[in-house]
């Protein structure tokens, strides 16, 4: 389980760092070219930034869950001690996992429709599914992250370290 956690964490970090670099570079290049070379056809940069933003956002959700930076009904969990706190964590885990499962399911359907109807991004002329895959894959990663972080939190509560 720790190896999967480590690999998924590295994947999330890589997607976010590389994605952030690409977004900053493309936006900078777009602005520079817009003012220095106004007739340069650079329409694909906006699509590329949105595509990368989708991947960074979806894997950022998973990363936030893994780091415990998500909303976990902390007001209630800070007020309640012992087994009641574990129940709040379990409820939050179940609700978050349900949300991620529904997001992955609907994202899968979206991607299948994008493939079925051969949708493309007009500026870059690539399949829209390249952007769409971020939703089910990011939600699946977040599903695992919710489970891992909730189990860690429950273990901390049981051991008395939290």
Quick one: pLDDT band at residue 132, thresholds 50, 70, 90? very high
Instruction: Flag the least confident range among 25-39, 118-132, 137-151.
Output: 25-39
Rounded to an integer, what distance in angstroms lies between the CA atom of residue 136 and that of residue 158?
33
Separation in Å, CA 114 to CA 42, 71, 123: 24, 32, 16
DSSP the chain: -HHHHHHHHHHHHHHHHHHHHHHHHHHHHHHHHHHH-TT---THHHHHHHHHHHHHHHHHHHHHHHTT-S---HHHHHH--THHHHHHHHHHHHHHHHHHHHHHHHHHHHHHHHHHTT-EETTTTEETHHHHTHHHHHHHHHHHHHHHHHHHHHHHHHHT--
Percentage of the chain beyond pLDDT 70 is 92
- What's this model's pTM, rounded to 2 decimal places? 0.88
Q: pLDDT tens digit string along 61-114?
A: 999 988 877 665 566 777 787 788 888 889 889 999 999 999 999 999 999 999
Quick one: pLDDT band at residue 160, thresholds 50, 70, 90? confident
135/78: higher pLDDT: 135
Apex CA 84: angle with CA 155 and CA 65, to 5°? Answer: 50
């Amino acid at each position: 389980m720790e190896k999967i956690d480590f690999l998924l964490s590295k994947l999330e970090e890589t997607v976010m760092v590389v994605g952030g670099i690409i977004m900053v570079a493309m936006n900078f290049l777009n602005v520079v070219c817009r003012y220095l070379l106004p007739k340069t056809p650079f329409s694909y940069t906006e699509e590329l930034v949105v595509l990368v933003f989708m991947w960074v956002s979806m894997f950022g959700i998973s990363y936030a869950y893994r780091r415990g930076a998500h909303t976990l009904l902390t007001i209630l969990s800070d007020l309640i001690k012992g087994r009641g706190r574990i129940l709040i964590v379990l409820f939050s885990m179940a609700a978050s996992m349900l949300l991620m499962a529904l997001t992955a399911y609907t994202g899968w359907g979206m991607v299948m429709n994008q493939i079925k109807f051969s949708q493309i991004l007009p500026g870059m002329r690539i399949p829209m599914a390249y952007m769409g895959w971020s939703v089910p894959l990011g939600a699946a990663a977040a599903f695992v992250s919710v489970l891992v972080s909730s189990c860690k939190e429950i273990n901390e509560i049981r051991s008395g370290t939290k």
